[in-house]
Structure 1
Amino acid sequence: MNSINPDDFKVTNAINLTKIPTELNIDADDDEKEAKLDKVQAKLSELQDVMYAHNRYGVLICLQGMDTSGKDSLIREVFKEFNARGVVVHSFKTPNSTELEHDYLWRHYLALPEKGKFAVFNRTHYENVLVTRVHPEYILFENLPGIEKVDDIKPVFWENRFEQINNFEKHITQNGTIVLKFYMHMSKEEQRKRLLHRLENGEDNWKFSTGDLKERELWNDYMKYYEEAINKTSKEHAPWYVIPADDKEMARYIVAKIIWEEMQKRTDIKEPELDAKVKLNMELYKQQLQKE
Structure 2
Amino acid sequence: MADRGKELIEKLRVKPGKPFDLKDRDPRDKCGFDDDEATKTETEMVAHEIDALQDRLYAEGQRALLVILQGTDTSGKDGTIRGVFNATGPLGVSVTAFRQPSENELAHDYLWRVHAVCPKRGTIGIFNRSHYEDVLIAKVRGFAPKETIEQRYAQINDFERMLTENGTVILKFMLHISKKEQAERLQERLDDPKKHWKFNAGDLDDRKLWDEYQDAYETMLNRCSTAWAPWHVIPADRKWVRNAAIASIVKATLEEMNPTYPKVSWDPKDFKVV
- Which runs of 5 or more residues in structure 1 are unaligned? 140-152
Q: Which residue in the other structure is 2:22 paired with? A: 17
Compare 198-207 and 101-110 and name the one that shifted more: 198-207
Q: What corresponds to 2:261 in structure 1?
A: 271
The runs of 4+ residues in structure 1 deviating greater than 4 Å are: 1-4
**What is residue 31 of structure 1 aligned with on the other side?**
37
CA deviations 1:162-186 (Å, max 9, x no partner) are: 1100000000100011111000000
The counterpart of 2:175, out of the listed 172, 184, 200, is 184
Distance of 2:67 and 2:51 partners within structure 1: 15
> Given the superposition, is the C-alpha separation of residues 178 and 27 from structure 1 closer, same or farther in structure 2, using an over 3 Å criterion?
closer
Query: How far, CA to CA, are the matches of 1:27 and 1:51 in structure 2?
Result: 28
Matches within 5 A, 1:209-224: 209-224=200-215
Unmatched segments (≥5 aa) in structure 2? none
| Greater RCO, 1 or 2 (C-alpha within 8 Å, sep 6+) | 2
Q: 1:214 to 1:167 in 2, by over 3 A?
A: same
Match of residue 232 from structure 2: 241
Amino acid at match of 2:61: N
1:225 equivalenced with 2:216 (yes/no)? yes
Q: Which residue of 2 aligns with 1:131?
A: 137
Q: In 2, distance between residues paired with 1:215 and 1:228? A: 18
Residue 157 of structure 1 and its aligned partner are, at CA, apart by: 2.6
Q: Deviations over 1:185-237 (max 9, x none)?
A: 00000001111111111211221111111100000000001000111011121
* Aligned-residue offset at 1:27: 6.0
Quote the Cα distance in structure 1 between the aligned partners of 2:4 and 2:236: 18
Matched residue type, 2:249: I
Given the alignment of the two structures, is residue 7 of structure 1 paired with residue 10 of structure 2, yes or no? yes
Partner of 2:111: 105
Distance 2:180 2:271 in 1: 65
Partner of 1:89: 95
1:246-265 to 2 correspondence within 5 Å?
246-265=237-256
* Larger Cα-atom Rg: 1
**1:262 offset after TM fit, Å?**
1.7
Q: CA deviation at 1:19?
A: 1.7
Q: Hey, what's the Cα distance between the residues in 2 that align with 1:283 and 1:229?
A: 56
CA distance in 1, matches of 2:122, 2:162: 18
Name the structure 1 match of 2:269: 283
Q: Give 1:3 shift.
A: 4.4
Match of 2:62 among 33, 56, 65: 56
C-alpha displacement of 1:283: 2.7
The one-letter code of the counterpart of 1:91 is A
Q: Distance in 2 between matches of 1:284 and 1:161?
A: 57
Matched, 1:117 2:96: no
Q: For 2:270 and 2:60, how far apart are their aligned partners in 1? A: 26
Distance 1:53 1:163 in 2: 34
Structure 1 SS opposite 2:127: strand
Alpha-carbon distance between aligned partners in 1 of 2:250 and 2:77, rounded to the nearest angstrom: 15
Q: What is the letter of the counterpart of residue 284 of structure 1?
A: D
Task: Indicate the RMSD between aligned Cα atoms, in angstroms.
Answer: 1.5
Q: Give distance in 2, aligned partners of 1:56 and 1:103.
A: 28
Normalising by structure 2, report the TM-score.
0.94
CA-CA distance at 1:95 after TM superposition: 0.3
Contact 2:33 2:39 (C-alpha < 8 Å) held by counterparts: no
State the Cα deviation string for residues 235-280 of structure 1 (Å, max 9, x = none): 121110000000011100100101111222224x2111121xx12x
| TM-score, scaled relative to structure 1 | 0.88
- Identity score, percent: 37
SS at match of 1:88: strand
| Structure-1 separation of matches of 2:155 and 2:181 | 34
After TM superposition, give the deviation of residue 20 of structure 1 in Å. Answer: 1.0
Q: Deviations over 1:4-47 (max 9, x none)?
A: 62210011132111121001245633211111101210110000
